[in-house]
Structure 1
């Protein structure tokens, strides 16, 4: 026992724990003790509460709890979801190796990895169909850079941005963890943005993001003297990428896989979807946070995790290149027209495991025998895919077939080396085919015959002693021993006494010890040989890592194309024309989500050069918001290369999509409903261009009538005259079409309804003209308003109509009672 810092006496193990904990103060320390990860002091209290496990003590007054190493992943997953970081401390030597330095020598231990939300690698901690992004936000002068990486899948991207676009960038990437400087984190605008998003935030000092330091890190990682050979990066992009890599290197304790070069995603190659549009259009989840009811829940027909993740990336960053879009459409059309080929490919792809994530674990030598076995299955599936696609003549699909590569030799090696027995840890042994190595086959035969050899020895001793009940048993303390009833006395000199019990006697012999040593040595050698063979196989896989990555990307791409073809056939989508024009003409357009399971009324839209803005009036519940959203979603689908829910569509390439739809507040930011509306509208007015698509619903309805009307008119005028965007606007200000009649490119439409026997029938049909009513009281009746409230509302409505404005004199309470 020794005294440390706080004058408390601790055992060597606790001292070692405290020393490591001091180095990783922001983390929970999983300290390896045999078959458990143990935690002590405050960490033990936190984890016992978080995981609902028993809190015990080690010695006098030291809180302690632990989790088994074989099931640690499930506990880690819960802690990470709760926002914790975990430092994994492993034993770096065996007890026997430690004792060579002295009988009381402490086993060497150190942290081998820090587990954070953005650096997860294990399948059990990751969602198969979602990328697990770690992002970094950096700032140099007035410029901002966002870099993001999925360590588990080998994805690394970066882009420059402006302050006003950061909300959209983070919304599109949806990182699990965001790296940021202390200074930037404290800026008011950035703080508001971070509070909008559900991700863990990790901050570092400003020096961590220094451009020169970041450049040095990147040059070191990629083994170059200058970054010019990797790409044309701005200073802020270098800062974001280098800081991100440095953080990953720190958490992985320098055990990094070979990273791909960061790919610059510039604004010219993809459509910018505004943060408000991402939320309002419900691409990935509804505004209540549910996946069901989102666009992705309807269009994702992929059958592999690889394809599902790629489809979401396409949806986050739709292409703005007509050539890329057309190539994808050609491939989708091929599968639409060749249904048998399409279904055959889907069936094959269903059996292909997650190659990207398996390969990352192989690169970091953190893979299991099960991983390598699954990689073999993936390569076998890719071989079958290549054979099934020999019939294709589409250029994009021919290119994909070529990217599958030649992996037959590696597949043969894996299948001949790894047994399909689902072993999850190399240390467990028993997963290598003995026939692949002569020495392994020999020692496996020795080990497998150990029971028979022991039985032969037992029979020999029974015959020698005449004791028919003599047996040879094993325990972890004595090893193998000979056991006889206590009533028998073994007089032969070959039997050496080991232990006397109440009813039995235990002995050993030189022959038994020799046999035990042979069997034990065989077991030990099997594990050692298997580890060597396994490591050699992993290194052999790494020789083809780049080619396998290319094949994995090809599988993902193929899965997306086949998925979009299946979607088009099942939901009767058509191929849109996407070109460099300024057209936006959709005939018979439908909402891809709302149309599911209902009779949907399709509508047309044509935002031609002299007809670029549509102003739509009509009652609540008539379908204005649905019409607005469906056209934005049709535009996004067209830009990812998908067919669209319409009879026909011609869409000129869009640079940005803005959507201001619905009413919501943001109490966490201190924003009222009207403030949210104004902030989202301001983003449109400041950023939209003549290539943008603007979807605007009910501008100005969150304030007074005159204020709101004036704002709405000014906004429409600005979009018409200044940004000149293609726009669809909905309003309840029925006077707005009259006041905006001087705007030559505005066309007015309304949602048609019919009144019959006091009832209102919503036809959900768009017709030319202006609606005269909003039918708000009728909607209130549908919502269940009390009758007396509805009657008073109708009374006030009549008074307003007669007075021509709000200067009415409602009856006094007494008059209301008398009436």
Structure 2
């Protein structure tokens, strides 16, 4: 059997979006068929039914109501699916036969614009990447919901690493790649580590330079994009991204008005490992904002300000002049409580100007969106007036660029009703007096309804039918309803319209006349209001560039106020920015831990690093002594200073850092099959490959995943390389307290230790970093604090005593040389004299480099006993 015409139409349209779930409009529902229906019913937990379609068996089918579709689309997008929306593009009443349908938009995770599907203070990034040649890549990124469109080029021997770090920083919801790039191992591994990112693979022709350049020129015809077009890598990435947007959105994207080019090297570079370990915007524990640096610093009042502050933390500045300018603005607001409060109060009432304007330009903004836009614009003069009192250069310059957009305000004030409906097809969008014909039609409809209101009473009196009712439905229009028991009282001029089980519905010539008047007026009114509202929305969209510029300034003010508010609240101080590379911090505190513990709960510490005699601080001490917290604290304070924030310290002198590396903690990578030790080695390699003399490196507990001998050797070799070859400022913590002997051997290395107070068998970790070195690790005491059973603690203490006894015995045997290998050689000499060939062979067979200290001491003890026996 042949498929029905409608199902043939469905399959033809489905072929246009094979990788998307097709929402096929049928009346008041979006229907899905075949495999799409099975998938959607499972993911949305809705009933799977069937439909006759001309085939022997019913085909799978499910559907969702048109008015609730956004909620269902949101669920599918959240799960990483794409949804193609297919609408009727002809009036069914005016069409004979099958109504024409078309895909009007493909919604993908990276092209969401609806507010209900977005996180307020997070960007929804879509990234496209092109490879021009080995070691030269182009990357373009957009947030369709705000109109942001940026492009960057990565070139040189480490271009791929730089590209992947940028992708990880952006953590896009969707990433567009050519097939050849996806097959590169490093790219695949990085994208696999971003669970919220879906991949879209496009044919190679999307990344052809000629077609990409043409798309860019056509879209940005009124904008100078010569810098982008002159760079082939930028052009191919940006052109492929724009082409994808145009094909999926099926409309002109007038809110994307410019391409901004940037270089990652213009900011402090933070690789994926450092971002994770420093917990800049997400905590390590659960990946949430709480527990991160952003959680501490973000008290922004607007969604725009929240997004900007997050981007500042992810891209700290390296230009001292720009840092100082931002610090000046923060300091002014810290010192002026009144100015800070006035600005903060006005910011509370500003909605998301960027996304509201984008929806207006996109053509999806409704009456309430424009009302929110108006409410926000009305607060701009207050901010403008408040900034007149600012003295810092940054705030003054922002005030000079500030546009209060009063013409747009006046347009919206004159046009918008006070409480418009959500739907644009329900009327009630426009204010009384905005348009004379709208007012006339409203009067006609209102007068007709007033006549209707009195009709029921008049007809009851005229006919004597006390139960008579006036009603309305969309199929039959207005009617007079009479119960069957009163049909004998119905006048002759009543005309039957509909028969029910217990009643009859009638119409009169007079009612029919008013029905035409009312319904005609209402239909014309809804259509006219809709068209006029679209005109108003288009006028707003025409000013998208102006509104976005002002929105950007509002966001900057909000972010600066947030930094100032936290600084004042937490007692932070202004850092000094220096050029000599010195990092000198007095009484520094970890911003997150301090906020978690509350006032007075955190023990502050000093830090000093330079490029000369104190460029590498070696920190020893027990695992629970606070080494890791201290190291992270130093890195975060440097980062905050270069963001332009005050810092939790009584004094901070910060020499500019080009990169921060943070190898902290132990973790394995199950997805790539890498052990804890391999992850440590990989992260260490990243540091050694990319660190420069201007970098700040923090390394915590390197070499734990192998034997003590090898672990200590690797740790020492890395320390020597950082000290001798790279010369970068480094904080290196270790449980190998033997490495403290390097002080004096390496002229730029200084020993530090976390202080411990011992009283009898009790140990207290003071969380204080002091100029010293640790002599033991206090592992049993840490185990006691963790709550291990008493029997285990007692046995562990006994074993420690035994091992210490063996160590002392070994020192005596080797006459103070203290090396297992030397002891073995001396024992070998003794046995040689006695011609003990068997023991000589046994000792020669030992693999000393793979023996742990415990194994070596145990073997020496065995030899010692045999010597005494002889």
TM-score range, shorter chain: over 0.9
Contact 2:358 2:544 in 1 (8 A): no
C-alpha deviation, 1:628, in angstroms: 0.4
Does the CA contact (< 8 Å) of 1:613 and 1:747 recur in 2? yes
Give the alignment partner of residue 276 of structure 1, picking from 269, 273, 276: 273
**CA 1:274–1:469: 2 relative to 1, 3 Å:** closer
Structure 1 residues 234-633: aligned runs within 5 Å: 234-288=231-285, 289-456=287-454, 470-484=468-482, 488=487, 494-500=493-499, 504-596=503-595, 597-598=597-598, 599-610=601-612, 611-633=614-636
- The residue number in structure 1 matching 2:22 is 29
Q: 1:160 maps to which residue? A: 153
> Separation in 2 of the partners of 1:185 and 1:505?
70
CA distance, structure 1, for counterparts of residue 500 and residue 105 of structure 2: 48
User: Displacement, 1:459?
Assistant: 6.0
Structure 1 Cα separation of the partners of residues 540 and 500 of structure 2: 55
Q: CA deviation at 1:422?
A: 4.8
Cα 1:698–1:483 shift into 2, 3 Å: closer
Runs of at least 5 residues in structure 2 that lack an aligned partner in the other structure = 808-852, 863-870
Conserved in 1, the CA contact under 8 Å of 2:33 and 2:59? Answer: yes
Q: Distance in 2 between matches of 1:411 and 1:303?
A: 22
SS in 2 for 1:754: strand
Moved more, 739-748 or 550-559: 739-748
Counterpart contact for 1:659–1:694, Cα < 8 Å: yes
Query: Is residue 793 from structure 1 mapped to residue 796 from structure 2 by the alignment?
Result: yes
Give the Cα–Cα distance (whole angstroms) in 1 for the partners of residues 468 and 594 of structure 2.
79
CA contact (8 A) 1:750 1:768 kept: yes
Deviations 1:22-64 (A, max 9, x none): 2211111111222222212221221122111222222362222
Distance (whole Å) between structure 2 residues aligned to residue 359 and residue 97 of structure 1: 35
| 1:114 equivalenced with 2:112 (yes/no) | no
Tell me the equivalent position of 1:667.
670
Q: Is the 8 A contact 2:420 2:430 kept in 1?
A: no
1:702-726 alpha-carbon deviations (Å, 9 max, x no partner): 2222222222122112211222111
Deviation at 1:71, TM superposition (A): 2.1
Q: Distance in 1 between matches of 2:104 and 2:480?
A: 44
Of 787-796 and 695-704, more deviation after overlay is shown by 787-796
* Secondary structure of the corresponding residue to residue 507 of structure 1: strand
Retained in 1: the 8 A contact 2:380–2:404?
Answer: no
Listed as ranges, the matches of 1:646-661 within 5 Å are: 646-661=649-664
Further displaced range: 255-264 or 245-254: 255-264
Indicate how the Cα distance of structure 1 residues 497 and 76 shifts in structure 2: closer, same or farther if over 3 A, else same: closer
Shift of 1:72: 1.8
Residues 709 and 485 from structure 1, CA distance in 2 versus in 1: closer, same or farther, beyond 3 angstroms?
closer
Could you tell me how far apart the structure 2 residues matched to 1:227 and 1:472 are? 65
- Contact 1:173/1:316 (8 A) holds in 2: no
Corresponding position: 1:49 with 2:42: yes
State the Cα distance separating 1:330 from its structure 2 match: 0.7
The two structures, once aligned, show a CA RMSD in angstroms of 2.3
**Greater alpha carbon shift after TM alignment, 799-808 vs 197-206:** 799-808
Q: Any idea what SS the aligned residue of 1:520 has?
A: helix
Q: Which moves more between the two structures, 684-693 or 738-747? A: 738-747
Asked if 2 retains the 8 angstrom alpha-carbon contact of 1:45 and 1:64, the reply is yes
User: Structure 1 residue 764 and structure 2 residue 757: aligned?
Assistant: no
**Contact 1:195/1:669 (<8 A) preserved:** no
Q: Which residue of the partner structure matches residue 129 of structure 1?
A: 121
Deviation at 1:630, TM superposition (A): 0.3
Q: How does 1:136-215 map to 2 (within 5 A)?
A: 136-141=128-133, 142-161=135-154, 162-198=159-195, 199-215=197-213
Structure 1 length-normalised TM: 0.93
The range that moved more, 484-493 or 43-52, is: 484-493
Deviates more, 1:725-734 or 1:800-809: 800-809
Gaps in structure 1 of 5+ consecutive residues: 813-819
Offset at residue 502 of structure 1 (A): 5.9
Judging changes above 3 Å, is the alpha-carbon distance between structure 1 residues 786 and 490 closer, same or farther for their aligned structure 2 residues?
A: closer
The Cα of 1:380 is off from its aligned counterpart by 0.6
1:390-445 deviation line (CA, Å, top 9, x unaligned): 32222211222233313223212212211232522212221211321111001011
**Structure 1 range deviating more: 681-690 or 38-47:** 38-47
Distance in 1 of aligned mates of 2:115 and 2:498: 48
Name the residue aligned to 1:639. 642
**For the pair shown, which has the larger CA radius of gyration, 1 or 2?**
2
Contact 1:218–1:242 under 8 Å retained in 2: yes
How much does 1:458 deviate?
5.3
Q: Confirm or deny: 8 A CA contact 2:127 2:142 kept in the other structure.
A: yes
Note if contact 2:743-2:751 (Cα within 8 Å) is conserved in structure 1: no
Query: TM-score of the superposition, structure 2-length normalised?
Result: 0.88
Residue in structure 1 matched with residue 752 of structure 2 by the alignment: 749
Counting matched residue pairs gives 799
Write the deviation string for residues 593-630 of structure 1: whole angstroms up to 9, x where unpaired.
11122411111111123221111111110011011000
Selected match of 1:96 from 77, 93, 117: 93
C-alpha contact (below 8 Å) 1:434/1:444 kept by paired residues: no
> Is this contact kept in 2: 1:799–1:808, CA < 8 A?
no
**Range with bigger deviation, 194-203 or 641-650:** 194-203
